[in-house]
Chains A and B, each alone.
Chain A
Amino acid sequence: MKSTKLPSAPSAEQKNLDSVEAPGRRSFLRNLGLGTLLAGLAGQLFAMVRALVPNVLYEAPRTFKVGLPDAFAQGITYLEDHRLFIGRDQRGLYAISAVCTHLGCTVKMLNLNQPRTVEIGGKPTQIAQEFQCPCHGSKYYGDGTNYAGPAPRPLDWYRLEVSPDDGQLVVNSSQPVRHDFRLNA
C-alpha cells in the first residue's frame, strides 16, 4: 500500500518562530494584501455603478420655444408635444405643467360650461377650467390648485420669457414659479 504523506504538524520550534518573531510582519502583510484586494474590489464596484449614471442626456431640452405670444388667446391652450398648458388672462401669460404631481400621468383639461367661483388660498377665484388625471382621479382647478384625489400638491407653474432674438415665448421647465407669475407680452 502506498503511503500518502500528510503535511506534518508544525514543530514546537516553528510555532515559536511564528509567534515570537513574525506575527507583526506576517499579519501586517496579510491585512495589507486583504485590504488592497477589498479596496480594489470596492473601487471597481464604484466605477461600475458610476458608469451607469449618465453624464450626457439625449432628452428633450428643458428650455424650449413655443411660438409668438400673440398666438395665445384668452383662456388656456394645450401644447400636446410639451405636456404644457399656456394660459392668458387680463394680467398676462402663464405656463402650467400637465404632468400630474401624484405619479406623472398627463392631466386632461375640462372646460366648464359656466365659470364658477371657488376659494383658493382663502380668496374667492373665478375658474373656467378644471384638470383631471386619468390615472388615479386627481382633480385641479384651472390655476393648478389640487382639490380632490391623491395629488399631494398643485401642478407646477413654469417661468415664461420672451426670446430676445425672434420674440417667441420661451418656457423654462427647470424653473418652477409661484402661481401669481404673469408675463406681460
Chain B
Amino acid sequence: MKLKEHWETLTWTWNPKSLRESSDSVVRNLLLHWFPAKISRPSLSFRYSFWLGTISAALFFVLCGTGLILMFLYVPSVERAYPSVKDIEFVASYGGFIRAVHRMAAHLMVVAVFLHMMRAFLTGAYKNGAGANQNRPVNWILGVILLLLTLLLSFTGYLLPWDQLAYWAITVGTNIASAVPLVGDKIRFFLLGGNDIDQNTLLRFYVLHCFVLPTAVLLLFSWHMWRVRKDGGLACVDRLVRDEKTKTSAPIKTKTYSLLGITSGRTVQVETSYIDQDEHLVESSPNLTRRLLLVILATLLVTFLLGFLVHAPLEQAANPLVTPNPAKAPWYFLWLQELVADTTVHLGSYTVSGAFVGGVLVPGLLVLLLAAWPYLDPSSVSATGVRFARERQRQNMVFLAIVLVVVLLTVVGTFMRGPSWHLYWPWQSWPETPTRF
C-alpha cells in the first residue's frame, strides 16, 4: 500500500484524477510545463498535422541515445575509425543493431522534417492569424534552419565510418563548397582543415556531428516550440477562431459599469473568448500527453523494426586512390548531384561549372526562397491553417512542382545512374567496370 502511494506521488501528473490535478500537473511537471493547461481539439487531430514535428523530435532523441552509445565505441582517427566501426558492427553486443537504428533514424528524420515542412506549407501554417503578437514567419524560418541542420547532421555523420562510400561522398560534397566564387577554396580548406580529406577533416566532422550541430538543433528546437506557444498554438486554432466569429451568437450577458454599456450598436467583448469554451478545449494532461506518448511509441516501434530488418552497410576502408564507380552522395543530396552533373553551361569560351550552378546557386536560391516565402505570400488571414486553401492554390502548385522535381531528380540519381553516371533503367544490369587498372 505504501509503495503504491509513493508510486502515485511520482506519477500522478501523468494520470490526473480530477480537472484540478490535470491543470496542476502542467504547472508542476518539468516535462509538461511547456504545454498549455488546456488545448483546442483541432490541434490534437492526427489528420491536421500528422504529428510530423513530434515524430521528428522523437527521432532526434532516438539519435541522441543511440549516438551516445556509439560515441563510447567509435574512435575518430584515420587509422582506427574504420576498424572501430567494424567492431561496432561485428564485435560489440547489439552494436550492429544500435548502428542500424542510428542510421535508420537519421534517414527517417530527414524524411519526417521534410514532410513536416510540406505540411506546414500546404496548410498555410506560416501565416499569422487573428491573435496578438503572432510572428509565425519567424517560426517558419527557424523550421527551414532546422531542416538544413538535419541535412548537415546526416552529412557529417556520413564520413565517420571512413569507408569508400563515406570518403567519396564527402569528396564530392566538399568540392561543391570550393565552387563558391572567390572564397570557395578557402571555405573548403577551412572545412577540411587542409587540402585533403584527412585526420583534420575526420575530427572536424566528428565534433560537428556529435556536439555543435546537435546543440544547435536543441536550442532551435526549444525556440521553435516556444514560438508555437507564443503564436497561440497551431495555425488551425486561428481557423477555429475565424469560424466561431462568423457564427452569430446571442450577445453575452454582462454588466457594464461605464458609458459603453449604454452606447448602441456594438457589444464590448474580448475576442479571445471565442474559443475559451469547453466545447473546443480539453485538458492537456492526459489528452495531449496520451497522444504524444502514442506517437513517440509508434515512432520508436517503426525505427527499431526497420533497424532489425535493414543493416547499415559498411564498404571497404576508405582509399583516396580508388574512386568507386559510380560514386554517389547520400540519397537526400542526389538531386543536387544530379543537378551538379547536368548543369555545366558553356557560353562561347566561358564556362559556368555545374558545381556552382547545381551545388551553390540553385540550392542557395531555393533556401532563400523558402525563407522569404511567408513575406511574399499575399493571401489573406482566412487562408491560415487551411489545407489547400483556394486562395493559395497557385502557391501550393508551385511548391508541389518544386518538390516533385526534387523527388524525381533524387529517384533518377538513386536508381537510374550507373557506372560513369550513365543512365540505366532500374531493371537493367550494369556493365562490369574495372575498379583498378
Of the 9-residue stretches B120-128, B153-161, B290-298, B318-326, which lies at the interface with chain A?
Answer: B318-326
A106 touches B321 (CB 8 A): yes
The A interface, classified by DSSP as helix, strand, loop or mixed, is: loop
Q: Which of B327-367 contact A (CB under 8 A)?
A: 327, 337, 340-344, 351-355
Chain A 51-80: CB-based contact to B (< 8 A → 1; otherwise 0): 011100111100000000000000000101
A109→B434 CA distance, assembly (Å): 11
Flag B191-211 by CB within 8 Å of A: 1 or 0 each: 001111011100010000000
- Give the shortest distance, in Å, between A146 (CB) and chain B (any CB): 9
Cβ proximity bits A80-107 to B, threshold 8 Å, 1 near / 0 not: 1101000000000000000000111110
Minimum-distance CB pairs A-B, first 8: A134-B325, A137-B421, A152-B353, A136-B341, A150-B354, A150-B344, A103-B175, A106-B323
Interface size range on B against A = 35 or more
Do A53 and B190 have beta carbons less than 8 Å apart? yes
Across-interface contacts of B200 in A (CB, < 8 A): 54
Q: In the complex, which residues of chain A have a beta carbon less than 8 angstroms from the beta carbon of B321?
A: 80-81, 83, 106
Within 8 Å CB of B190, what residues of A?
Answer: 52-53
The reply on B131 being an interface residue by CB < 8 A is no
Query: How distant is B125 from chain A, measured CB to nearest CB, in Å?
Result: 36
Count of residues in A whose CB is under 8 Å from the partner chain: 29
Known: A105-B327, A108-B325. 19 other contacts (CB 8 A): A57-B194, A59-B195, A59-B198, A60-B196, A80-B321, A80-B322, A80-B437, A81-B321, A102-B340, A103-B176, A104-B171, A104-B175, A105-B172, A106-B321, A134-B324, A135-B323, A150-B344, A150-B353, A150-B354
> In the complex, what residues of A have CB within 8 A of residue B421's CB?
133-137, 149
B window 347-390: CB within 8 A of A: 351-355
- Closest CB-CB distance, A115 to chain B, in whole Å? 19
Cβ contacts under 8 Å, B340 to chain A:
102-103, 136, 150
Residue B82 interfacial (CB < 8 Å): no
Is A151's beta carbon under 8 Å from chain B? yes
- From A103, which residue of chain B is reached at the shortest CB distance? B175
Given contacts A83-B321, A136-B340, contact A152 B195 (CB under 8 A): no
| CB atoms of A103 and B342 under 8 A apart | no
Interface flags, B162-185, vs A, CB<8A=1, else 0: 000000100110011000000000
Nearest to B172 among chain A residues (CB) is A103
On whether the beta carbons of A135 and B172 are closer than 8 Å, the reply is yes
Shortest beta-carbon distance from A131 to chain B in Å = 11
Instruction: Give A residues with C-beta under 8 Å from B.
Output: 52-54, 57-60, 78, 80-81, 83, 102-106, 108-109, 132-137, 149-153
Taking the complex as formed, is B419 at the interface, i.e. its CB lies under 8 A from any CB of chain A? Answer: yes
B47 contacts partner chain A, Cβ-Cβ < 8 Å: no
In the assembled complex, the Cα of A57 lies from the Cα of B200 at a distance in Å of: 9
Q: Which of A57, A106, A133, A135 has the most chain B CB within a 10 Å cutoff?
A: A135
Give the distance to chain A from B363, nearest Cβ to Cβ, in Å: 15
Other-chain residue from A53, A83, A102, A105 in contact with B168 (beta carbon distance below 8 A) = A105
In the complex with contacts A105-B168, A105-B171, A106-B323, A134-B195 CB distance below 8 A: no
| Interface CB pairs A-B, < 8 A, 27 | A52-B193, A52-B204, A54-B194, A57-B194, A60-B196, A81-B321, A103-B171, A103-B176, A103-B340, A105-B168, A105-B172, A105-B327, A108-B323, A108-B325, A108-B437, A109-B437, A134-B323, A134-B324, A134-B419, A134-B421, A135-B168, A135-B327, A136-B340, A136-B341, A149-B344, A150-B344, A152-B352
Q: How far is the CB of B284 from chain A (nearest CB, A)?
A: 35
Residue from A59, A83, A152 whose CB has the most chain B CB atoms within 10 Å = A152
List A contacts of B195 (CB < 8 A).
57, 59
Kindly report which residue of chain A lies nearest to residue B351, judged by CB atoms.
A152
Bound-state Cα–Cα, A104 to B340, Å: 13
- Give, as a whole number of angstroms, the nearest-CB distance from B96 to chain A: 30
**Contact between A134 and B326 (Cβ–Cβ < 8 Å)?**
yes
| Residues of chain B with a CB closer than 8 A to A102's CB | 175, 340, 344, 353-355
Q: Considering the chains assembled together, what is the distance between the CA atoms of A81 and B321 in angstroms? A: 6
A62 CB, nearest partner CB in chain B, Å = 9
